Amino acid sequence: MLDAIHLFLAIVEAGNLSKVAKRQNIAVSSVSRKIDALEAELGFKLFHRTSRLVMLTDSGEQFLPRAKNIVLELEDAKNAMSALNADPKGLLTVTAPASFGRLYVAPAVTRFLKRYPLMEIELNISDEIIDLSAHRIDVAVRIGTLPDSDLVATRLAPFKRLVCASPDYLAQHGRPTSPQELLQHNCLSAATLKTVPGLWCFPGVNKGAPLPVQGNFRSNDTNSLLLAALAGIGIVHLASWLVSDMIISGQLVSLFPDLHNSSSKLEPAIHAVRMPGRSHAAKAQLFIAHLRSEFGEPAYWDNAIAACERV
């Protein structure tokens, strides 16, 4: 049946049986018999055939994408089995959010390529949510709560937000001792039309809703908020992976270390997602395993912050 499906796709591309027969060096009658057998097996006609050309029936039009998927699935399986029995090689396409991609994914990619020199990585750094199917992306790193989908997700690390300020800001304005005291401080917030999940939210505070903090600077760019906090402008609530180096160096102070977000599997997290049945599946799984090993459990940036806070 698989040979007949390949013939079906070849006929769709060529537009008639004669061209396909010539390319494959077989008789036209042999091509016709195989298509007849496929139609009998499926229970519907695939083509309207004349002496000069063939046209897809409505059923043939509906079967076409499924036939392509069957061939791709077989190719995926062959590639996966081949990857298990040889050094991984070939192209893997990866996408990751801008800041996290530059800070953590890109360095992990370089170490992956050193370990597997026959591999190629095409890394797309962008905050745009890219459709994996439409753009043939093998692995996407995503941050937050994943929507329901058919994607296969692997949890890489928890996602925690920390309330931070510079020593200069705290020296001038005092250090808040509880989240409620943030209402009396200059808080630097996200300027977006959509509510950012978890921003200015704390366990047992304001019934879990965001605190109505105020401040003189807002931005849709987290790096800009970070720079403003480093300059002593105000207090930020940013991802632990973004502020970890500044906390360790003393440029920022984590204000409520005991109010870290929960690391429950139901909470927002950093995930790697991939399409099921996609080609390069074995290589995608290998790369995801590498990311998990690189980041650690708990994530190495959170470990570093915790060690700093114990000093």
Return the ∠ at Cα 225 (arms to 209 and 174), rounded to 5°. Answer: 75
One fold for both 90-159+265-298 and 161-259?
Answer: yes
The per-residue pLDDT of the chain, averaged, comes to 87
Q: Give yes or no for residue 278 having a pLDDT over 70.
A: no
More confident residue, 298 or 258: 298
Residue 260 is predicted with a pLDDT of: 58
Is the separation of the CB atoms in 21 and 28 below 8 Å? yes
CATH code matching the domain that covers 2-84, chosen among 1.10.10.10, 3.40.50.10800, 2.60.40.3500, 3.60.10.10: 1.10.10.10
If residue 18 lies in a helix (H) or strand (E), which one and from where to where? helix 17-24
Question: What average pLDDT does range 166-175 have in this prediction?
Answer: 97
Q: How far apart are CA 211 and CA 214, in angstroms?
A: 9
| Mean pLDDT of the region 158-181 | 96
Residue spans of the domains in the chain: they are: 2-84, 90-159+265-298, 161-259
pTM equals 0.69
Residue 191, CA atoms < 13 Å, CB-side half-sphere? 11
Instruction: Give CATH for domain 90-159+265-298.
Output: 3.40.190.10
pLDDT at 84 over 90: no
Query: Is the pLDDT confidence value at 193 over 70?
Result: no
Residue-wise pLDDT for 236-270, tens only, equals 999 999 999 999 999 999 999 877 544 444 468 99
User: Tokens for 34?
Assistant: 């195989």
Which spans in 48-119 are helix H? 58-84, 98-100, 106-115
Q: Which of 122-136, 213-227, 228-242, 257-271 has the lowest mean pLDDT?
A: 257-271
| pLDDT of amino acid 214 | 95
User: What is the structure's pLDDT at 288?
Assistant: 94
Confidence of residue 180 (pLDDT cuts 50, 70, 90): very high
**Residue 292: pLDDT band with limits 50, 70, 90:** very high
Q: What digits encode the pLDDT tens for the residues 23-77?
A: 888 888 888 888 888 888 888 898 888 766 788 898 888 888 878 877 766 665 5
Which residue would you say has higher pLDDT here, 309 or 73?
A: 309
Q: How many CB atoms lie within 10 A of CB 305?
A: 24
In CATH terms, the fold of domain 161-259 is D-Maltodextrin-Binding Protein; domain 2 (3.40.190)
- pLDDT bin (cut points 50, 70, 90) of residue 311 is low
Average pLDDT over residues 10-22: 83
- In angstroms, the Cα distances linking 1 to 22, 28, 41, 48, 267 are 21, 18, 8, 20, 46
